[in-house]
């Protein structure tokens, strides 16, 4: 199985500041035949199900604010919130879907400083 | 509007069985692969099982293989998870999740819509 490792475990950022979450996979999730990274990011607020933010490592899901962006390739990825808002307080997960079973990172909790 | 509504969770003794259901609406159910993902209390997310649009392909996490069975009823827009020989470590909220892939293929195995989840507690 591909192991997904997120860092940091938690992050406290001031309102309006940038937050960056890292995700590393134990094997490359870049599929060479289509040059796509099989990596998604989710946001989970307390008491709610996860919500898809980003897929193919950098494609924003419809309706997701453009302050959320995904980057990276191969084994190293990042989710950036360019200007943290109060409603962004949540746990964020990365997930690879390059191979079965799909696997998630352990999550990063984002809070307001 | 896409809606996924899970039901069937509850308290069950170790070794017993439980069947979860997921009623869906707002999309062409028989065009998409579907999945179950679970979350133990205070823990992260774990994919449990996935099924292709036509039920030809079914996958399971090693942790549930041989004990859980995923199925779907395209006529009734519903997804199911039959859970047998339940263990304490199966205690979790179980989410039904839609795969964004359509038509042919067994799915991409990421999840664009999620239900609210149904809690399962395995305890004596």
Name the percent of chain B lying above pLDDT 70. Answer: 97
Rounded mean pLDDT of B94-106?
A: 84
Residue B4 has pLDDT above 90, yes or no: yes
Q: Do B59 and A100 touch (CB under 8 A)?
A: yes
Q: How far is B114 from chain A (nearest CA, A)?
A: 6
Would you call B13 exposed, middle or buried from its count of C-beta atoms within 10 A (0-12, 13-18, 19+)? exposed
Give A-chain residues touching B113 at CB under 8 angstroms.
52
Q: What percent of chain A has pLDDT over 70?
A: 100
Give pLDDT, residue B101: 87
Q: B32: how many CB neighbours lie within 10 A of its CB?
A: 21
Asked whether the bond before A101 is cis by omega within 30 degrees of 0, the reply is yes
Does residue B102 register a pLDDT over 80? no
User: What separation, in Å, do the N-terminal and C-terminal C-alpha atoms of chain A show?
Assistant: 36
pLDDT tens-digit profile of A3-36?
999 999 999 999 999 999 999 999 999 999 999 9
Å from A52 to nearest chain B CA? Answer: 6
Mean pLDDT over residues B78-97, rounded?
Answer: 98
Task: Name the residue among A38, A52, A107 with its Cβ closest to that of B111.
Answer: A52
Closest-CA residue of B relative to A39 is: B110
* Residue B57 Rama label (left phi>0; alpha psi -120 to 50; beta): beta
Binary contact (B110, A51; C-beta < 8 A): no
Q: Does B117 touch chain A (CB under 8 A)?
A: yes
pLDDT at B104 over 80: no
Helix, strand or coil, per DSSP, at residue B36 = strand
Structure tokens at A39: 């990596």
Q: Testing the interface with A: which of B38, B41, B44 to mutate, by most A Cβ within 10 A?
A: B44
**Chain B residues whose beta carbon lies within 8 Å of the beta carbon of residue A55:** 100, 110, 112
Task: Locate B107 and state its tokens.
Answer: 């799915």
B27 touching A (Cβ < 8 Å): no
Taking residues B81-92, report their average pLDDT.
Answer: 98
Would you say residue B24 has pLDDT above 70? yes
pLDDT, mean over chain B: 95
Average pLDDT, chain A: 97
pLDDT over 90 percentage in chain A: 100
What's the CA gap between B14 and A19, in Å, rounded? 43
Report the pLDDT averaged over residues B111-118. Answer: 98
Q: How far is B17 from chain A (nearest CA, A)?
A: 24
Kind of pairing between the strands at A10-13 and A108-112: parallel
């Amino acid at each position: 199985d591909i192991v997904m490792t997120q860092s940091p475990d938690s992050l406290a950022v001031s309102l309006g500041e940038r937050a960056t979450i890292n995700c590393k996979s134990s094997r490359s999730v870049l599929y060479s035949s289509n040059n796509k990274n099989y990596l998604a990011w989710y946001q989970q607020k307390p008491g709610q199900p996860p919500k898809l933010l980003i897929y193919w490592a950098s494609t924003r899901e419809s309706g997701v604010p453009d302050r959320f962006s995904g980057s990276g390739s191969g084994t190293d990825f990042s989710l950036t919130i360019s200007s943290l808002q109060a409603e962004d307080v949540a746990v964020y997960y990365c997930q690879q879907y390059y191979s079965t079973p799909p696997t998630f990172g352990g999550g990063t909790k984002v809070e307001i400083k | 509007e896409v809606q996924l509504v899970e039901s069937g969770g509850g308290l069950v003794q170790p070794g017993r069985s439980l069947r979860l259901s997921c009623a869906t609406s707002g999309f062409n159910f028989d065009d998409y692969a579907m999945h179950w993902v679970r979350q133990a209390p205070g823990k992260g997310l774990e994919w449990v099982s996935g099924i292709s649009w036509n039920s030809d392909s079914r996958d399971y996490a090693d942790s549930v293989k041989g004990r859980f069975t995923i199925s779907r009823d395209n006529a009734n827009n519903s997804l199911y998870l039959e859970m047998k020989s339940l263990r304490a470590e199966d205690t979790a909220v179980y989410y039904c999740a839609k795969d964004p892939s359509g038509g042919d293929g067994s799915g991409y195995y990421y999840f664009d819509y999620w239900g609210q989840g149904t809690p399962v507690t395995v305890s004596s």
